[in-house]
Amino acid sequence: MSAMATRQTKEKPKSRQIIGVAEQPGLALGAVEPSPSGPELTALIEALLLVAPTPPTMAELARGAGVSVAEVDIAIRTLEQVDGRGWILQRHRETVQLATAPRFADQVRRFLGLERETRLSTPALETLAVIAYRQPVTRAEIEAVRGVDCAGVLATLHHRGLIEAIGRLQTVGHPLQYGTTPEFLRHFGLRSVAELPPLGQVEGRDAVHLLEATLAEAPGVGGQRSGVRNQESEVRSQKSGE
């Protein structure tokens, strides 16, 4: 027998199956897989969220699932109604993600070895509160509320992934405007910023009005905030519409 014949007898047929992705029975090669719908689409969106390296947008999920954004929105709303699972669905601006349920926070920290994780300081929490309720907000506005320099605290919050620069205020110098991140929702166990608790009152006055008045007097930016979103008002409006 020739060497060529020997090599041919030892060659094995190549498998058409990709590792980890088995071929579905009943689908010919090159056939277009039908778009999922109903419970199957909801399950597919859940699967895509589980493997997404970063929080995807609705449009990205729609492309991955091969359906419309409207269909993805319906599936997301279905997932939001799911109770009793070990995860919750979080929305952040145009993105969505799955996160562990807040009731298991202690066990998750212990499992991941995060029991000694450094807690946020009081100044950091105060700064984060201003950003969460008034985003987008500039450093000057934050400092007008707190009355101290916030450069170091902002750097710490940014390093921990709790805030990010989301724009620039259209005024002299175009200062950066800060907002919260998906990590902020994950850290505090919120489904969205709509779940932020109301600010309440300070010395008998509405804290929202006090905060607004202080920000309006912030040097160089106070007159530029017309039309800027009031996060507290949005929280109230979203809750009243539920």
CATH number at residue 95: 1.10.10.10
Band the pLDDT of 75: cuts 50, 70, 90.
Answer: very high
Higher pLDDT, 211 or 131: 131
Query: Which tokens go with 139?
Result: 């450093």
Q: Are residues 67 and 137 in the same domain?
A: no
- What type of residue is 184? F
- 43 domain-assigned: yes
Q: Are residues 203 and 99 in the same domain?
A: no
Please report, rounded to a whole number, the percentage of residues in the chain having pLDDT higher than 90: 43
pLDDT at 209: 67
- 22 domain-assigned: no
- 13 domain-assigned: no
pLDDT at 6: 45
Q: Are residues 86 and 191 in the same domain?
A: no
Indicate if the pLDDT at residue 219 is higher than 80.
Answer: no
Q: Are residues 136 and 201 in the same domain?
A: yes
Picking from 52, 70, 103, the residue at the C-terminal end of a domain is 103
Indicate if the pLDDT at residue 154 is higher than 50.
Answer: yes
- 111 domain-assigned: no
Q: Are residues 90 and 147 in the same domain?
A: no
Q: How far apart, in Å, do the first and last CA atoms of the chain sit?
A: 80
> How many whole angstroms separate alpha carbon 72 and alpha carbon 189?
23
Q: Are residues 89 and 178 in the same domain?
A: no
Please report, rounded to a whole number, the percentage of residues in the chain having pLDDT higher than 70: 68
pLDDT at 198: 80
- 2 domain-assigned: no
Picking from 46, 76, 103, the residue at the C-terminal end of a domain is 103
95-100 and 87-92 beta bridge pairing: antiparallel
Q: Are residues 68 and 143 in the same domain?
A: no
Indicate if the pLDDT at residue 38 is higher than 60.
Answer: yes
- 53 domain-assigned: yes
Scan for tokens 């992705």, then name that residue. Answer: 21
User: Closest Cα partner for 150 from 228, 229, 218?
Assistant: 218
Indicate if the pLDDT at residue 22 is higher than 50.
Answer: no
- 197 domain-assigned: yes
Higher pLDDT, 21 or 154: 154
> How many whole angstroms separate alpha carbon 169 and alpha carbon 89?
31
Q: Are residues 147 and 56 in the same domain?
A: no
Please work out, in degrees rounded to the nearest 5, the angle formed at the alpha carbon of residue 71 by the alpha carbons of 70 and 76: 95
Q: Are residues 98 and 187 in the same domain?
A: no
Query: Which tokens go with 75?
Result: 């599936």
> Among 71-75, 148-152, 161-165, 228-232, whose mean pLDDT is lowest?
228-232
Domain span at residue 46 reads 38-103
The number of distinct structural domains making up the chain is: 2
- 19 domain-assigned: no
For residues 181 and 164, is the Cβ–Cβ distance under 8 A?
Answer: yes
Q: Are residues 222 and 188 in the same domain?
A: yes
Q: Where are any strands of DSSP class E within 114-223? A: 137-138, 163-168, 176-180, 201-202, 205-206
pLDDT tens-digit readout, 180-204: 999 999 888 888 888 888 876 556 6
